[in-house]
Amino acid sequence: ADARVDPAVEETARAIAEMEIRGAAAIADAAAEALATQARQTDAGSPEAFRAALRRAARTLYETRPTAVSLPNALRYVLHGMEGTTVSDLRSSTIAHAEEFRTDLEQAQSRLGEVGANRLRDGDVVLTHCHSTDALACVEAALEEGKEIEAIVKETRPRKQGHITARELREWGVPVSLVVDNAARRSLERADHVLVGADSIAADGSVVNKIGTSGLAVMARERGVPVVVAAQTIKLHPDTMTGHTVEIERRAESEVLSDEERAEIVGESDPDGLTVENPAFDVTPPRHVDAIVTERGQFPPESIVVLMRELFGHSTGEPWRP
Ligand code: RUB
């Protein structure tokens, strides 16, 4: 009975934890791929050992980052697809489900893009935060329809994911103004939409996304600029239907402050007197969100729970528990 986690799964987990693989959709895709690899590589002698190996792999992946619900949703989808009474049946059903998940993910994103593109008019300026493949899918679809789109891209400290967004938009020929995060309110003067992604969406329509999204949404409301959240349904957080909250990841001080910078601030004072808070995400309340764009159409945030019940009514709890 070999319930060892495959080295390739460990490597995917490391890459997610260290943000070489990042963004909710990419994390879900990599996790499903890793489970398929685990299924292929496990030389389990019994169905029980096979199941145990897959559950351990899922747990290893689950423990990397806590906020993007696409990760447990992906793990649950693949593990629930593990069917059969022999190792060989379990293996093939798991691999098939992982592949199905990954194909669906890609198709959902392109359908979502077409829905989101309907909101964008020729000549519009979108203001983005962080890097979201779901948000960019809306821009891409609009471009394919022949619309001209411009972008104001927030740098997104401390990890500067705005650079990834800017690079992708430039590849598509979109004119990009890169701005520091502090320029958000001023930049809203010439924005037609705020367009962001999501890591998790709660049952009340709250949107959990990169830190800074909620402040941006408040300012956009003040300026009368609509806030559009592009999020495939795997971003819906089923546990929030039963009152659980979404855990906000806190990341290392080193992302914000180098050792030298710390030493300079602290000087001769007690080093414990300086702490760095580095939450990676924040919560935007539904009243500051104009629309959630999914592959199933566009929803006002207050009614997203209907979709959540339909799609995830029975899937809550830790993914490796039946
Ligand atoms: C990424 C982030 C993105 C969402 C959506 O945070 O907040 O907006 O994950 O991305 P991090 P996508 O860089 O910390 O992972 O639409 O690609 O799923």
Protein residue with its CA nearest to atom 11 in ligand 1: 23
Q: What is the mean pLDDT of residues 224-244?
A: 97
Closest-lying ligand 1 atom to the alpha carbon of residue 196: 8
**C-alpha angle 303-305-311 in degrees, rounded to nearest 5:** 125
Mean pLDDT computed over 54-83: 97
Q: How far is the CA of 169 from the centre of ligand 1 (A)?
A: 16
CA of 24 relative to ligand 1 center, distance in Å: 5
Query: What would the two tokens of residue 11 be?
Result: 């490597």
What are 2's two structure tokens? Answer: 């070999």
For a pLDDT cut of 70, what percent of the chain falls above it? 98
What confidence tens digit (pLDDT) does each residue in 133-181 have? Answer: 999 999 999 999 999 999 999 999 999 999 999 999 999 999 999 999 9
pLDDT band at 4 (very low <50, low <70, confident <90, very high): confident
321 has a pLDDT exceeding 80: no
The residue annotated as part of the active site, out of 29, 124, 130, 138, is 130
| Alpha carbon of 50 to ligand 1 centroid (Å) | 32
**199 part of the active site:** yes
Tokens, residue 177: 């103004």
Q: How confident is the model at residue 122 (pLDDT cuts 50, 70, 90)?
A: very high
Q: Which of 6, 29, 192, 199 is an active site residue?
A: 199
State the distance from the centre of ligand 1 to the C-alpha of 108, rounded, in angstroms. Answer: 16
Section 280-284 average pLDDT = 98
Q: Where does residue 24 rank: exposed (0-12), middle (13-18), buried (19+ CB within 10 A)?
A: buried
Segment 70-87 shows an average pLDDT of 97
Give the confidence band of 1 by pLDDT, cuts at 50, 70, 90: very low
Phi, psi at residue 284, to the nearest 5°? -100, 120
- In the chain, where are the structural domains located? 7-110, 114-246+279-312
Q: What is the mean pLDDT of the chain?
A: 96
Query: Would you call 130 a catalytic residue per the annotation?
Result: yes
Superfamily of domain 114-246+279-312: Translation initiation factor eif-2b; domain 2 (3.40.50.10470)
Q: Which whole number is the average pLDDT over 179-201?
A: 98
> CATH assignment of 7-110?
1.20.120.420
Question: Can you count the helices (H) and strands (E) in the chain?
Answer: 11, 10
For residue 272, the one-letter residue type is: D
72's tokens: 């447990």
Average pLDDT over residues 270-284: 98
